[in-house]
Structure 1
């Protein structure tokens, strides 16, 4: 049985590659999908498809519509959602992705450092599992196959 895992979260470091590598080492039959991780492509996709917009507001709105469409399609196909929150980056999109996953009744794992226990308490309460490390998230998924 192969599972599809949607990796929600910040796009500024290589945490997705770390998860994929650790899953591969453990021989887990997982396929990974994610939001657009090319920041410029994500910001400009509205104008790439719809043409130049009259202001930054409309440019952001057009890109947001298309990025949200992409996220919804991929998340609906996912079997599991992993959402990573970190200290360094603002996590508005990640919080929205967790809310979407929960609304879609997707099994959800939140990864967050201990310092974010309080600000993420409501999301953690709605997720199926909250952990502090990528390794712990991989072990939760590995347990499915035991």
Structure 2
């Protein structure tokens, strides 16, 4: 049995590669999907597809519509969502993706540093599992496949 995992979270660091590598080392039957990781492509996809927009707000709106469609479709096809809240970047998209996953009744593993416990307490309470490291999240994924 193979599961598809949606990796929600910031696109500026290599955390997705870390979790993919750890899953591969554990020989877990997982495939991974997630948001567009090319930041410029994500920001300008609306104009690339729909044409130039008259201002930055409408440029963002056009890109958001296409990015939201991508997220919705990939998340619907996923069996589980891992949402990472890091320390460095603003996490608005991660919060939206984790909330969307919960609204879709998708199981959610939340990764967040201890210092973000308080601002994420309600979201953490709704998630199936809350971890503080990528390694912990990967171990949770591994446990799903254990039989003894």
* Same fold per superposition (TM over 0.5): yes
Aligned positions of 1:90-109 closer than 5 A: 90-109=90-109
Question: Which runs of no fewer than 5 residues in structure 1 stay unpaired?
Answer: none
| Structure 1 position 98, deviation (Å) | 0.4
Cα-Cα RMSD = 0.4
| Structure 1 position 87, deviation (Å) | 1.0
Structure 2: distance between partners of 1:13 and 1:138? 17
Question: Which runs of no fewer than 5 residues in structure 2 stay unpaired?
Answer: none
The match for 1:45 is 45
SS of the residue aligned with 1:27?
A: coil
Structure 2: distance between partners of 1:18 and 1:95? 21
SS of the residue aligned with 1:58?
A: helix
CA offsets 1:4-50 (integer angstroms, 9 cap, x no match): 00000001110000000000000000000010010000000000110
Structure 2: distance between partners of 1:87 and 1:115? 8
SS of the residue aligned with 2:37?
A: coil
Aligned positions of 1:68-83 closer than 5 A: 68-83=68-83
Structure 2: distance between partners of 1:125 and 1:19? 23
How many residues are aligned here? 146
**Moved runs in structure 1, 4+ residues, more than 4 A?**
none
Aligned positions of 1:8-23 closer than 5 A: 8-23=8-23
